[in-house]
Structures are given as C-alpha cells and as structure tokens.
Amino acid sequence: MVSDSARVSRLRQWWQRVWDEDRELLTIFAILGVLFLVGMIALPSFRSPRNLFNVLRQAVALGLVSTGQTMAVLVGGIDLSVGSTISLIGVYTTGLMAQYTSLGAVTLIVLAMIAIALFIGLANAFVITRLRVAPFIATMGLGAIIQGFILLYAKRPGGAIAPGWDFFAEGMIGPVPFPVIFLLVLVAIAYFFLRKTAAGRHVAATGGSEVIARLSGIQTKRVAAYAYMISAFAAALTGLFLTSRMGAGDPLMGGLNYDRYDLDSITAVLLGGTRLGGGKGGVVGTLAGVLLVSLLNNLFNLADINPYIQWIIKGVIVVGAVAVYASRKPVEAK
C-alpha cells in the first residue's frame, strides 16, 4: 500500500515535470485568469454576456492570423507580410463579390484568394531559403510589394460582400458564434498537425536547429515552404473573415488604420511561449496569447485608455516576453 508521503512525492515530481516542460503555457493561462478576474471585478460593463461574446468575436481575426504566424516563428522565421496579405485578400474579395454573387462564383473567388495567399507564402519561403534573405527583411519586403499592388487596385474602402457571406462573422450555431467554432477547429487542426504528424514535428525540428535537421534527413527548405504557406493561408482566412465582418474591403484593413495584425500576431505568438528563433511552442499557447491580447484591448477600451498608450504597452509586452523566454534558454540547454 502506497503511503501518503509517497503519493505527495509523486505528485510533486509530476508537477515539477509539467512545470519544467510547459512553464510558459501555464504562466500565460495564469495571467489570463488573473486578468479576467480583474476585469470582472473592476469593470461592471466587462461582465455583460454581450461584451464577453464581443471579446470572443474580436479574438477570431487575431486568432486566425496568429495560428499561421506560429508556424512561421516555430520554423525559425517570422512573417511580416501577413498584414498586407489580409488587405490584399480583403480588397480583391469584395471587389469581385460586388460583381459576382452566385454561390458558384463566390466559391471560385474564395478558392482564388486562397491560391493567391499560398503563392505569397511560397514566394516568402523562396526568398528566405533560396536567396538566403533574412526572414524579417524578406517578409517585410514582400509585404511592401503586396501593399503596392493593393493600392494600385483600390486606394479607399469599397466593394461589397455577396448575400449570406456575413454568416462567416455574424452567424450563430446555437448560442455560440460560428467564427469562434471556426477558430477552435482551425487551432485543433494545427495542433494535430504539429503534434501528430511527421511534417509538423519537422517544423519544430527545423526551427530548433536547421543544420541538425538537415543532417537528419529533413528537407528543411520544403518544411519552411510549408510553414510560410500555412501562415499566408491563415492570413487569407483572416482577410475573408474581416470582409464578412466589415461588409467591404479596405486597402489598410490588415494594419495601420485598424489592428496591426503583424505586430499583434507576433505578440500573441510570443506571449503563448513560442520562442522567437523557433524550436519550441505551439498553437495552444498562441490561443492563450490571443485571448490575452483581446482581453487587454477590451479592457483598455472600456477603461478609455489612449490608443497610443496601448501601442506602448503592447511594445513593452513583446520586449518583455522575448527577454524572459530568451533568458531561460541557457538553463534549458544544459
């Protein structure tokens, strides 16, 4: 018969193992819980069911793009073209839907937008892996090129969505918003890909050490292509969702005039414990980071905090998260 002291010892060992493996994930969920409680206590308007549903809806766009950004960061890179990709998909989708509204036409439009996004991801990977340009510069440069094509097509908000397309953003399945279900399904698929497939494990291995991964027989250039194509695909879904939510396209919907999806997605990914430089992390932590950023935005707005101060706080959070996680690398490498 196992003694009480033995049970306590096993429980302590189990908890220590969990803490050592997932301390970032546990920390971000703890912070998320504390922030939620603070909002419930300090701001009566935060407690309303309508506001809580709004937080979830607002988290969807950031959650979609951040899921893809996780792949880019996990493989050892970064994707600063996601904001421009979102805007591109937004303006072209609404521009075409304004003219073609049949179900068949809408299906073709969506497939065409996804194909364009996949090409953007492939172009990012080509510049990074074949031309050997740093991911930061490569994706920022491609993003600038994309933004140029956007402004050649549309310099101001316009276009329209096809009848029924608003269901993507506003639809309900029972008491739950459809976009929340869509996001959770996407996160579940991404989790399965990273944890249960060889290709997903190769993403983390490539980010951990590209040289070791290559010597182990992993096609690292192909893995990088997968990661950036998934990132661009997720950005396309975000653009499609935003068109459904806004009812129109905007050449700046991916950033500048609205949320900065490049900065915010990186913030969510880093807060979720995915290391800048790759090798460790995952989409569950990213989802927690998304909820944290969305909660902060909601609390800032309810507390009427200056938007410029919000930018400062987000920047401090990014720097702090990178500093904290980077400081743990030498200890964990022993």
Of all residues in the chain, the percent with pLDDT exceeding 70 is 91
pLDDT, tens digit (0-9, with 9 covering 90-100), for 52-93:
888 888 899 999 999 999 999 999 999 999 999 999 999 999
- How far apart are alpha carbons 64 and 84 in whole angstroms? 15
Reading the block at residue 156, the tokens are 């101001």
Query: Does pLDDT of 98 surpass 50?
Result: yes
- Note the pTM of the prediction, 2 decimals: 0.88
Query: Does pLDDT of 331 surpass 50?
Result: no
Instruction: Give the mean pLDDT of 255-280.
Output: 80
pLDDT, tens digit (0-9, with 9 covering 90-100), for 1-30:
556 677 777 777 766 676 666 677 777 888
Of all residues in the chain, the percent with pLDDT exceeding 90 is 49
Instruction: Give the mean pLDDT of 197-207.
Output: 91
pLDDT, tens digit (0-9, with 9 covering 90-100), for 276-296:
888 788 899 999 999 988 888
- Domains annotated for the chain, with CATH where assigned, are 48-326 (1.10.3470)
